[in-house]
Amino acid sequence: MDTSTQASRETDQQTRDWLRTLVAFDTTSRNSNLALIETVRDALKRQGIDALLVHNAARNKANLFATLPAQDGGTQGGIVLSGHTDVVPVDGQDWSSDPFAVDEREGRLYGRGTCDMKGYIAATLALVPEFLAMPRKKPLHLAFSYDEEVGCAGAPYLLADLRERGIQPEGCVVGEPTGMQVVVAHKGINVFRCRVHGRAAHSSLTPRGCNAIEHAARLICHIRDLADAYRTNGPYDTFYDVPFTTLTTNQIQGGIAVNTIPDACEFTYEFRNLPGMSPRDIQADIRRYVDEQLLPRMRAEFPDARVEIETGPAAPGLEASEQAAITALVRALTRDTATRKVAYATEAGLFQGLGIPTVVCGPGHIEQAHKADEYVALDQLASCVGFLRRVGQSL
């Protein structure tokens, strides 16, 4: 066996070992990710790399940013390898094995986050010794975030810190599961929480109340009407699997008893907009309906009725430039020239918003994420390791 083949096998084993380590941390978004982040920080420290941690306000979560300098010690420019450390819950899911212990069977590694997206992070960390040994003319940066799964809430703090410190990489690869194919665009996501306040009354005295649930239903139906209009009239982008902007109401609660007019109803809604559409304009339409139609009807029943809309997590869409060097590089290294756009959101649009050209490419398939028996195939991990190795060599 030649030296390069032996090295590749060792890296593949280190990738599995790292994945087992990462999956063992229950980093469901409601939990802290500090144990995982500090483990990664300490491993990098042992290899001579100082990692920066950017904490949330409660200091129970952190982003990690680390730079592997160029051969001459340079830290400016280069490429970011980016991934999120949080995962979605396993509550109510019927798993065949412990979701927080990697189970290998039939060429697949099962466990929460193996696909989305600890497999990519594991491959990146396994390659750090190789990256450090490469005679690179430019640096490599590692960016691992928290709370991506709840609206990309953590990465903005990391990017704000990079801006303040004047760090400006030349490109970024976000390793969300794409089957190691190049994704050049995705939709934005915008989440809102709406609280409708009416007046309670005994249900036998209906005219004396202002039914918050019924008025909330009017707004929900308006949101659905907007969604139907986008579906029917566009605008469209046929490269997407869902080629139009979507709006949905996904949670609702209200009422205290079957014989009581409810004075409050709360629901959440989201829209996923094509990158060329303004989220502000979409939300302005909803707000206009509230102010011009819904509130006048409510206040005819109860003068103090009100509707509160709170802006929640949001992430911008991505529209990568085909002329950007990172797009050309990733296409060349994967030999993938297809135009591919997806409806799900990632942190890529946030990096692009900082002026860092970004594409999405990582192991596994989105269809395997977020469900019971989530897995990543071993051949996908091997392809990812080979791809990331070539990224390092290209520098």
| Catalytic member of 86, 103, 149, 347 | 86
- ∠ Cα 374 377 383 (to 5°): 135
- Find all residues with CB under 8 Å of 228, minimum gap 6, and list them: none
Please name the residue ranges forming H helices in 49-201. Answer: 119-126, 128-133, 155-165
User: If 0-12 CB within 10 Å is exposed, 13-18 middle and 19+ buried, where does residue 323 land?
Assistant: exposed
**What are the structure tokens assigned to 288, written together?**
């206009």
Q: Scanning the structure block, which residue is given the tokens 């009100």?
A: 306
Q: 145 and 54 in contact (C-beta within 8 Å)?
A: no
CA 121/CA 287 separation, integer angstroms: 41
Provide the phi-psi class of 107: left if phi over 0, else alpha when psi is between -120 and 50, else beta.
left
Q: Is 308 designated active site? A: no
CA 151/CA 172 separation, integer angstroms: 20
CA 194/CA 219 separation, integer angstroms: 10
| Catalytic member of 103, 116, 148, 170 | 148
Q: Is 86 designated active site? A: yes
Active-site positions read 86, 148
